[in-house]
Structure 1
Amino acid sequence: MVNVETALKEATTSIEGAIGAALVDYGSGMALGHVGGGKELDLTVAAAGNTDVVRAKVRTMEMLGLKDEIEDILITLGTQYHLIRLMKGRNSEGFFLYLALDRGRANLAMARHQLKKIEESLEV
């Protein structure tokens, strides 16, 4: 098991095209940790905004009566991918990993695969 800082550093260094990563509490919208971002992307604002996306999708699923779990949510921009992965571990419900990728350099399938591995090793 790895801690938040180690997991986020691994995401930004091992995933090709990573711009930044954050661990977010979607109850409060607060980032518990973040790495990268900078001038390209304010991860604190992204964490709060993507919390609204997660809440909306969870609420929609409830209204539709869907008895399923969200694995991840992908937002495709012209130059970036934004990947939101809801955590499922026993102490990690209510959190999501957020990863921003440069679309020109990223391999989306590999990024999803690596982010899942990081999520499985993360201890919140």
Structure 2
Amino acid sequence: MNIDTALKEAMSITGAVGVALVDYDSGMSLGTSGGGEWLDLEIAAAGNTEVVRSKMRVMAALALNDQIEDILITLHRQYHMIRLLDSVKSRSSLFLYLVLDRERANLALARHYLKRIETELQV
């Protein structure tokens, strides 16, 4: 599936508020959907790039021989999920950033759907 279809699929997840496909090497988003006045996905993409880079530095410092699947940030009213994509062969520096309304979302199902989107995404 292409980027637009992947973003639409992610926005169909129950509770989805916004989604972005981000390149953490550059900090730029390749596409966004949703968001709004209180959720600027371009700023969030750049900010969460720093979260990913920081976690990778810590893993390197600890000499962990492992890969990040996802990073979850839990707020009082929202979940912020960062899903690193390793099945997109042409680029290894991508992640999906998904914001969910905590009252409506099922976190386990959201993770499942993002994993499925990851396996079908072609960039």
TM-score, with structure 2 as normaliser: 0.97
- What is the aligned partner in structure 2 of residue 70 from structure 1? 68
- What is the aligned partner in structure 1 of residue 58 from structure 2? 60
- What is the aligned partner in structure 2 of residue 111 from structure 1? 110
Amino acid of the structure 1 residue aligned with 2:23: D
Moved over 6 A (4+): none
**Pairing 1:32-71 to 2, within 5 Å after superposition:** 32-71=30-69
Q: Percent sequence identity over matched residues?
A: 63
Q: Which runs of 5+ in 2 are unaligned?
A: none
- What is the aligned partner in structure 2 of residue 82 from structure 1? 80
Q: State the Cα deviation string for residues 45-79 of structure 1 (Å, max 9, x = none).
A: 00000000000000100000000000000000110
Deviation at 1:40, TM superposition (A): 3.0
Distance in 2 (CA, whole Å) between partners of 1:7 and 1:87 is 13
Q: Which runs of 5+ in 1 are unaligned?
A: none
Q: State the Cα deviation string for residues 4-60 of structure 1 (Å, max 9, x = none).
A: 0110011102x1000011100000100100000012311000000000000000010
- Note the aligned Cα RMSD (angstroms): 0.6
Aligned length: 122
